Amino acid sequence: MIEDSPFVAAAPVLVPMPAERPYTYGVPPGMRVVPGSIVRVPLGPRQVAGIVWDGAVETVDAKKLRPIEEVFDCPPIDKAMRRFVDWIAQYTLSAPGMVARMLLRAPEAFDPEPWIEGLQRTLAEPDRLTDARRRVLETAEGGLAWTRSGLAHAAGVSSTVIDGLRAQGVFETVMIPPRPVVAAPDPSHAVPELMPDQKAAAEKLRAAVAADAFNVTLLDGVTGSGKTEVYFEAIAAALDNGRQVLILLPEIALTHAFLERFQDRFGAKPAEWHSDLPPRMRERVWRQVAEGGVRVVAGARSALFLPFKELGLIVVDEEHDPAYKQEDRVFYNARDMAVVRGHIGGFPVVLASATPSVESRVNASQGRYHRAVLSARFAEAALPDLKSIDMRRAPPARGGFLSPVLLEQMQRTLERQEQSLLFLNRRGYAPLTLCRVCGHRFGCPVCSAWLVEHRFRGQLVCHHCGHNERRPDACPECGTLDHLVACGPGVERIAEEVVGHFPDARTIVLSSDLLGGVRRLRLELEAVANGEADIVIGTQLVAKGHNFPGMTLVGVVDADLGLANGDPRAAERTFQLLSQVTGRAGRTGKKSLGLLQTYQPDHPVMRAIVSGDSEAFYEREIAERERAALPPFGRLAGIIVSAATRGEAESHARGLRRAAPQASDLFVLGPAEAPLSLIGGRHRFRLLVQGERRADMQGFIRAMLAEGPKLRGSVRVQVDIDPQSF
Ligand code: ADP
Ligand code: ZN
């Protein structure tokens, strides 16, 4: 008993809000809580779900203690997961409560799903036997428990027939447990014949899983080399060991084809987890993952926070993908956190990619990760022949963006009734609109960015804050009518050019802003895979993972696009994107071609792509990083300070810099205006902290924040450890 209070004990509870520590609550008599219990507690005027945490409680005034209201009837969050939450909070400098919040995102799941009343035939006979009734009785004969509607459906009668029989006591009622969201996968359902190098790689992975201890393997193989089949073997091994498996995928639109492939191999689909999942489904998946009913989850980065009962393997597919980085509230890279999760849980992690991140390549070469390599495409499929088109020598016709060389290959591809893909990583019609008379440019009122014209929608749109306005006919500055010009291409404009050249071809644009969202996108991707389009024009979402059997030509409209910004990661990103997108061609053994339109054909990235010599590219890139002491050879963090006025943001950033402690292995660069200096009306300044690999980055930044100016007014500070761009 706690003195002067009605409680038997006090417990620390982590609540889903920016709290640095768990709050203390009273445990009423008769209530049993353990670390990890999910509980309902009062928080101000609200009630929230929280997690009973580890460690001692703070001393509190017993009279002010508020009670834990309820312990939910669900499995407690296990110790590994609690350590994982603490670890991420500490590493990313986030409040543990905000990390816990990611774990508590399926509130209804905390109560068990109710069992359903089911029906079984008992010995009683109905008073009158109609045809319909006989069918029902025959169907119910087998001893299964049926739901009312299930039985009606199976017997081909209306539910009222069931009700009639029920009223006469023909059925015994039994309780049926909630239906599993997915059937159990069978590791030996359809074991593939693997090619020799696949076999070797699969053996490595199987051995890693058999060790049942933490280890990381980088599965590195060109697009189409059969990596998926290989890591499926690791999954089979983990399932055989009675462990659950998590597969992380970067893109939701991609999961559909993946789920089917998984089903072909294991006879059942994995459970899906991503933000588009309907709430009811989220709850069921969360619950069944916690109870162990779901054995395999395929999900977006947030799936890392599912409360697995016995997780024994994580596969991160397309591990290099920037989509794994969350840059909102808690800034984390799901690839890196998957490795941490494996380390804490003591199980293996597989990172798969045709174009691994420089970080993972270095980890492999320095022996921290194992490496399994697939060097050839599967079966008769050959990588496309790759060439650059020097746009200085073969420029497009006036007003166009496609070189005659590319157009000619498109014509030939059409004649062979094969598919072409044009890739341009820019949504909309044109990235800039200006007035030919006065030079006025349309910019976003609240961001330092130009408005992008979306001609299908008749709008000018800001890609950073979503601001949009109708495209006017007259210039708002000088009033001149019909003299606005679109500068530069987006996918819509390329589509216009293509239709002009090939009016009879079936042309389709694939971009994430398609009306109809993910659902429509899925259908369109399937249509392309089924050969229902001749020419596809797409943004980066077509670059990833898809298998388009009829695709034999890939044209990159502007291969230089990603190289323009000054980011040291630009070369790596461009190399990855161009390899992935050209890898969409030639998946079925037909001769195929990839063409890069570029003004810098001698750039190392273009050379690496054209020659297919990715090793040379990595060597060079790794050497440069090492020379500049950039990640993974050094440590880096960004601190973004934003505020309603430029002055506030800048002075706060300067104050932080002055507060930096003396350290021999870390130093601060900046503040400078952030790459996007204004977003949504907030002015942004950035500090970079750089230093040696072993330096205590977190301690250093924590000291800056503690010693620096107090947060006042509209000022916000975000810390980004291991930033994507630097
Ligand atoms: P990656 O993931 O490396 O890009 P995939 O795993 O998608 O490559 O394999 C490319 C294609 O080859 C797929 O259509 C896949 O079904 C097929 N494939 C790969 N390995 C085998 C195998 N051992 N037996 C049959 N088909 C295979
Ligand atoms: Zn904007």
Q: Is the pLDDT of residue 1 over 60?
A: no
pLDDT digits 0-9 by tens, 23-40: 999 999 999 999 999 999
Ion ligand 2 neighbours, Cβ < 5 Å = 444, 447, 462, 464-465, 467
- Sign for the CA dihedral angle at 491, 496, 500, 503 comes to positive
Kindly provide the residue ranges of all beta strands, DSSP E only, lying in 215-278, ordered along the sequence. Answer: 216-221, 244-248, 271-273
Check pocket membership of 586 for ligand 1, CB cut-off 6 A. no
* Per-residue pLDDT at 379: 63
CA nearest neighbour of 527 among 250, 256, 194, 251: 256
Over residues 292-319, mean pLDDT = 96
Mean pLDDT of the chain: 92
How does pLDDT run across 218-275, given as a tens digit for each residue?
999 988 889 999 999 999 999 999 999 999 999 776 678 899 999 999 999 999 999 8
Give the CB-side neighbour count of residue 396, counting CA atoms within 13 A.
19
Taking the C-alpha atoms of residue 223 and residue 163, their distance in angstroms, rounded to an integer, is 57
Structure-token pair, residue 333: 């890279």
Phi, psi of 595 (to 5 degrees): -120, 130
CA distance 480 to 371: 63
Predicted pLDDT of residue 243: 97
Residue 193 Cβ inside 6 Å of ligand 1? The answer reads yes
Q: How far is CA 490 from CA 57, 454, 611, 719, in A?
A: 57, 9, 28, 33
Q: Give the mean pLDDT of 498-507.
A: 97
Residue 378 confidence (pLDDT) above 60 = yes
Question: Comparing 277 with 340, which gets the higher pLDDT?
Answer: 340
**Measured in angstroms, how far is the CA atom of residue 463 from the centroid of ligand 2?**
7
Ligand nearest to the CA of 262: 1
Please report the beta strands in 502-611, taking only residues with DSSP state E, as ranges in sequence order.
507-510, 535-538, 551-556, 593-598
> Considering only CA atoms, which of 103, 500, 84 is closest in space to residue 290?
103
Helix axes 604-611, 614-627, angle to 10 degrees: 150
How many other CB atoms are there within 10 angstroms of residue 400's CB atom?
A: 17
State if residue 288 touches ligand 1 by the CB under 6 angstroms criterion: no
Residue 203: helix, strand or coil by DSSP? helix
Look at residue 488 and give its three-state secondary structure.
Answer: coil
- Measured in Å, residue 266 CA sits from the centre of ligand 1 at 15
Report percent pLDDT > 90 for the chain: 76
Cβ neighbours of residue 514 closer than 8 Å, sequence gap 6 or more:
520, 521, 524
The string of pLDDT tens digits covering residues 138-186 is 888 877 788 888 889 989 999 999 999 988 888 888 888 888 899 999 9
- Tell me which of 381 and 558 has the higher pLDDT: 558
556-to-51, 288, 301, 387 alpha-carbon distances in Å: 50, 44, 29, 11
Q: Tell me if 229 CB under 6 Å of ligand 1.
A: yes
| Spacing of C-alpha 181 from chain mean position | 21
Does the beta carbon of 76 lie inside 6 Å of ligand 1? no
* Paired residues of 10 in beta bridges: 26
Residue 420 has pLDDT above 70, yes or no: yes
At 253 the pLDDT is 66
Q: State the pTM of this model.
A: 0.92
Task: Answer whether 575's CB lies under 8 Å from 353's CB.
Answer: no
Q: Angle 197-200-204 (CA atoms, 0-180°, nearest 5)?
A: 140
Question: How many angstroms does the Cα of residue 625 sit away from the middle of ligand 1?
Answer: 33
Task: Considering only residues 92 and 138, tell me which one the structure prediction assigns the higher pLDDT.
Answer: 92
Per-residue H/E/C for 336-381: HHHHHHHHHHCCCEEEEECCCCHHHHHHHHCCCCEEEEECCCCCCC
